[in-house]
Structures are given as structure tokens and as C-alpha cells.
Structure 1
Amino acid sequence: MSLYELKIPQLGEGLREARIVRLFKKPGDRIQRDEPVYEMETDKAVSEIESPVSGVLESWCVQADDIKAVGDVVARIHVEQAEQANVAPERPSASVSAAEPQSKSLRNAIPPRTRAYAREKGLEESELAQIPFAGNRLLPTDIDQYLSERKSESSVSSAGPEYEEVPMSTRQRTLFYRLSRAQQQVVPGTIEVIIPWQPVEDTYQRFKQDSQSSSDERPTRFLLVAWCVTQIIAKHPKFRSVVVDVNHLRRYRHVNLGIAVALPDDELATAVVEKADALSFAAFVRESRIQIARARAGKDQAADSVVHISLSSMEAYGVYTAAPVVVPPSVATLFLGTPHMMMVEPGPKGPSFERVAHMTMTFDHRIINGVAAARFLNEIRDRVAALPNAGLSLS
């Protein structure tokens, strides 16, 4: 038997890192050649990665939501010698070759349960080589002793630090990864229009007064605006497109709508309404409520679907306007601000005030230019103004 290291593959030019989404196997499981063993997310897609060898999984070197660089070790697989011969060997450097006997000896001295225990304690694989042990194998008790001594040394040396380092949550690490990727790829442009709010309020109140619908079935004010957005996207194919490469766009027949959902502790999840433009109004409201509830329960859906455009609302927080961020593969993010009174152009009787809301859009300038963005927002504004006459029904 020999040990094969499964690494993050180079799936495309410019790929530097990937997020681990799911692990399909457990240590001790049998793996067949070409069988999917884990799923990873890159800036292009979410992909299932297959094993190039058959064998038995010894250990995972990653966990779900870890961000790893191309070439990092993901898993170690025990393979038969004949199987190993069919795999193109990596070309080791002189220093690696010299250290190989020691590496094999160390691997044999660390049982899988000890590796698992070390991961639970937040230790990296490289740290295990620094932990002394008395017997033939490194045991969890040795790890406890090592951590205890390290903690004592830390408390003595720090002597009352003025700060503390706290780990990011899994959800925030994922968002950090996606936003960092956006900064590298998207060329952002931002544009804004003012939409009338009274048509939204009138339509909302009409549904609220309908005794045949419950509060859980009725559309919110935000969903009324979101519905208008989905109907306009049907006429603007660039807003349901993603970049394939410098020469091509991939244009989807329908739009997957992302909705930003705030969670406790300032965390964020995305609800996704798939093929939103193909749904009836009643189906759209129902599906949106279902997916928002799933997001509030902790299920972020952005990794499960290609989100073409995202909506965010600060309607309840007194924020009138903001500059949203585009997260690829989305082509744009729309921000809906808090409705407020604003003076409109004076008429024959002088100035008047109208209830309005700011709608701000940041878009990917690689795909969409300013005029197309302006037309898109203006059509949404007109659609919102026509809401009371749209004949919307929940039946």
C-alpha cells in the first residue's frame, strides 16, 4: 500500500483558490477511480472533483467552507502499488526526497482518530510534526498536553493584551471569499433612479385588506418591487448572462433571482428564486417566502444555483441610498432604500411632495454599459408605477 495525495486541481487559467463545499466520503471509505469525492466552488462554477485512483480514504486535510489554494492537499488515499503505478508521479525536489522517509514515518505514527481530534482542536497538519509523544504513536492526550503548554506560554508572554483575535464564522469566511473574488473580477458601475412608492403601498394595502389571504401568503412591499424586477429582466438578456471568457457570454433563458437575507450577529445569507421570471405572481410570492425562510434558518443557497441578479433592501433601517456590491457570477445587485417624502418638480400650484424610494444598482461593466443600465432601471420604475393596474392576484 502507498499513500496518494489528492490536491486542488487547476481547472482554468487564473484559478488560484477554491472553496470546499462538501465532502462525500469519510475516512475508511472505499473510493473508486473517477468517483466524485468532494465538491468545490471557484469563480466559474461549483464542481464535483473525482478521484484519479482507487483506494481507501485515510484522512481529509480540509473541512467544508475551507478556502484552499490550487495545489493544496485535500485528502490522502491509501492505494495499491499497482494502482499507484498508473498515476503520473509528481516530480519531487531534492529537499522533499531527502525528507520522504521521515514523512512516511510521521504519517504512520499519527492514527486517523488523532488527526480528526487535531482538526477539532484547530491544529493544522503541519503542526502535528512539532508535537512530542512518548510512545510509538501520537495520541489525543499528547495533543492536549501540547495545547496546555502552548496556552501557558501564551498567557505568560502576552500579560494582558489590549486585543483578542477571534475566528471568523464559517458563513463570514464564505462571504469574505466571494467578495474578494468579486474585487479581482468585476468592473463595477453604479447608477440610481427614484421610484414612486405610493403604487407599492396601494397594492400592498389592497392585498392586506383581502380577507381571503393570510399574512403568510400576501406579498410584502419588497416582493412587489422584486416581482417588477423579474418581469423587466425578461426583456433584458444581458441581465441574465454570465462571463465565460473574454470572447463569450453565457445567456440563460430564465433568471435566478438572489435575495439578501440578514441573520443574527450581522451575518448574511442568500435566498434564491430559480426561474423567477417564469413564475406566476402567486407562485413567485409563495416561492420567495419559502426560500427566504430557508435562508433565515441558515441555508445559504448561492452555491446551489447560478444567481444572475441580487436584490437587497434597507427598507426597515432608515437607509435611503447605498452602493451595493456585485458578487460573481451575478451581473448586478439592486439596492432598495427606505421610502421617504421628497419634493417633486413644481406644478401650477407650486411644489408638492411625493413618497419615493431610491433604487441603486451596481452592475458589471464588462457585460453591461451605462445606457442599458439606465433603460433597465427606468423600465423597473415604470413597472412599479403601474402596479395598481397590473391585475395581480394570489389565486
Structure 2
Amino acid sequence: MNDRGLREIRVPQLGEGLREARVVELLREPGSTMRRGDPLYVIETDKTTVELEVPFDGMLVEWRVAAGDVVAIDTTIAMIAPAPGESGVGVASTPTERLIPPRTRHYAQERGIDAALLASIASTSNKLLPQDIDAYLAREAPLVPAAIGYREQKVVGGHRALIFRLRRSATLVIPGTIAVAVPWNFLASPQTTGHGPKATPFQVFGHAVAQVAQRHPHFRSVMLGDDRIREYNHVNVGIAMARPNDELAIAVVRAAERMTLQDFVRACSAQMRIAIREGDQAAEDTQILLSHLGEFGIPDAVPTLVAPASSVLFLGTPAPGEANARIVLTFDHRLINGAAAGRFLSELAASFARK
């Protein structure tokens, strides 16, 4: 509380690795009297769009931001005069009152649950949590298609986050794309991994990408806005994969350049299992994304680069009778120019030809 008796409302940390958020909408006017739980403002991050609530009773004195502003996490966004008797810390007014945190309200909204139903959903503690929402949904009957022949569903969860990231990337990234052919016989030949599982062609490819990227600093870097470049010491590789219901997720193998092929194979398998169970792992330090549609026999594609990654590589499957596979590289031209991309891709191709 400041010397005027006002409380600051700060932008919360809504996900690991997030540094900033965009203010989408301010829902109250200065002078408005509000109750705890009333909608206050809407923010958008790389991962989600969420409506934040007033954490205590009071009156909105002033906004410190405007709609459309991009602000750092923990920035003061508003000043509120607490109602008499309010602590201003957002706790329940009585010990027995059950809290419904903003994250839970947002989680329920994404899954199509009316806010009016939240009070009736059973919880395992004095706070309604996302797992309580999941348990409630598991007890409910599935959606029934409308009689007129179609069914509508809300875009929720990971898909909604992906749409935001793709839209954001379309405004930030200046993509460039180049390709090269590499001998498939090396990728597909048995690779020694000690006593572990045999490496797949895609795993051999991913391991090689990490080794080469370590020698090309821009391929282990990311853009911070348009005026700063952050170069990481290690290469964190993101593997595009499909979860149930075709939801896209990224499994991340961290410091992949330090791994033997055997270690990389094991890490890939472990991280993909976690991503299937828990969802997307991509963070701001995931510099390179990898894609492969081997089970569908797709020989060629132009991969879409999703920021903050600085590059994405697609490994194609050769057509029957073909000796070579195509590797397609899409890179962020703000960070990597054509010559640097060419050197990287040429060295990657040469690493297969030498072996």
C-alpha cells in the first residue's frame, strides 16, 4: 500500500518463462466501485488470453496502462482504493469461504463451463482448482451433435494458445526458407546407441542438428523484440508432435548438443512421453524446432516458424526409389541472413555425407 492508501494491481506471472503480456482490454472505468472477483482487465501472452479479476473490494482510482500496451510481468497496471476492512491481498473474507482463483475461472471458461456453475462444482480443498474442473467434466456426458447436422465447439486449451502464437509469429517473424538434399541411407541405417533403443532417422537427424547448431551462434539465439539478441550457451531442440485429438505440442530436449546419440534418443522418448501427458514444453529459450511426418511419407514441406524459436527444420521422407531426403529450413530473417542459413544447412548436409 502506498502513502495514499492505494493498492497496486500487478500483471501476474501466468506461465514459466513469460516475460511480457499485451493488454487487450480494460474492463472498468476509473471511479468504478468493484467487488472481489469482478472482471478487471484482459491480457494476452504467448500461451493464452485470460481475464483477470479484482482481488479485493474497492474503487478503481487509475489505470497505469492503456489497451494495446505490451508490458513486463509484474508491471503495475492499476491503482485501487480498498474498501474499508479490506486487506487488499485477495484472501477469502472468512476462513470457510472457498476461493475460485482467476486461473481456475479461466480454465473453466476455456472448457465451456458457465461461471455460474463454479460454485456448485465439488473441490478437494477450500480452493477450486483445475483438477476439480477436470473431475467435474469427467462425470459429464459428452457433447451431442445438434439435430441440424453439425456441432460447434470452443477453441480451447493448447489449440487456442497455438493460434495466438501463430498469429503473433506472423506479425514478428520475417521468414526465409532454403532446402538441401541429403543421403537417406545414412539416416535410415542402423545407428549404434549402446544398449539403448535403435535410433530412428528423425532422431539421427535431430542429434546432428544440435551438434551443428552449437557451432553457429545465431542458431542458438533468439530475438528479444527487434533490438536485442539473446545468445544461449546450449542448444534446446523442440520436437513438433501430435497429442490426442491432433493437438500440436512441442517436446523439448535441452542442451542437446552435449548428448551422445544414445542420450539424445532416450531424452527424445522421455520428453515426448511427458508432452503427450502434460502438453507443450516450448519456452523462450527453445531456439530450434524440428518436424517430420515420416509415418505419412511426406517428402517435402515448408515448415512454419513459431516465435521465439529462430529456426525450424523439416525432414522429408524420400519417395520410393529415391536416394535422397529433403531438409527444409525456415529461419527468422531478422536474426539469420541467407548466407548464415546456407552455411548452417551445408554443414548439416556434409555431416551426413562424411559418415
Q: CA RMSD in A?
A: 4.1
Matched, 1:235 2:207: no
1:333 to 301, 312, 323: 312
User: What is the deviation of 1:273?
Assistant: 0.7
- Percent identical: 33
Counterparts of 2:223 and 2:325, CA distance in 1 = 31
TM-score when normalising by structure 2: 0.65
SS class of match (1:78): coil
- Which structure shows the higher helix fraction? 1
- Give 2:315's aligned amino acid: L
Q: Is the 8 A contact 1:339 1:356 kept in 2?
A: yes
Structure 1 residues 301 and 321, CA gap change in structure 2 (3 angstroms) = same
1:89 to 56, 61, 71: 61
- Give 1:371's aligned amino acid: A
Q: Is the 8 A contact 2:301 2:328 kept in 1?
A: yes
1:246 to 222, 226, 231: 226
Q: How many residues align?
A: 278
Counterparts of 1:124 and 1:90, CA distance in 2 = 30
Structure 1 residues 115 and 203, CA gap change in structure 2 (3 angstroms) = closer
2:52 is matched with: 74
Provide structure 2 residue ranges, at least 5 long, that are not aligned to the other structure: 23-34, 65-82, 84-92, 121-145
Matched, 1:366 2:347: no
Provide structure 1 residue ranges, at least 5 long, that are not aligned to the other structure: 10-18, 23-38, 45-56, 93-100, 102-107, 129-138, 141-158, 343-353, 388-395
1:269 to 249, 254, 270: 249
SS class of match (2:202): helix
Alignment of 1:190-205 (within 5 A): 190-204=177-191
Counterparts of 1:113 and 1:238, CA distance in 2 = 46
Cα-to-partner distance string for 1:157-176 (whole Å, 9 max, x where unaligned): xx965654311231101111
Q: Is the 8 A contact 1:6 1:74 kept in 2?
A: no
Cα-to-partner distance string for 1:99-158 (whole Å, 9 max, x where unaligned): xx9xxxxxx9xx977999987574777xx8xxxxxxxxxx86xxxxxxxxxxxxxxxxxx
Structure 1 residues 42 and 326, CA gap change in structure 2 (3 angstroms) = farther
User: What is the deviation of 1:286?
Assistant: 1.8
Counterparts of 1:361 and 1:58, CA distance in 2 = 50
1:21 to 15, 23, 26: 15
- Give 1:21's aligned amino acid: G
Q: Is the 8 A contact 2:190 2:198 kept in 1?
A: no
Task: Determine which structure has more spread, i.e. the larger CA radius of gyration.
Answer: 1
Matched, 1:220 2:200: yes
Counterparts of 2:237 and 2:307, CA distance in 1 = 13
Structure 1 residues 160 and 324, CA gap change in structure 2 (3 angstroms) = same
Alignment of 1:109-120 (within 5 A): 120=108
Counterparts of 1:308 and 1:179, CA distance in 2 = 16
Structure 1 residues 91 and 322, CA gap change in structure 2 (3 angstroms) = closer
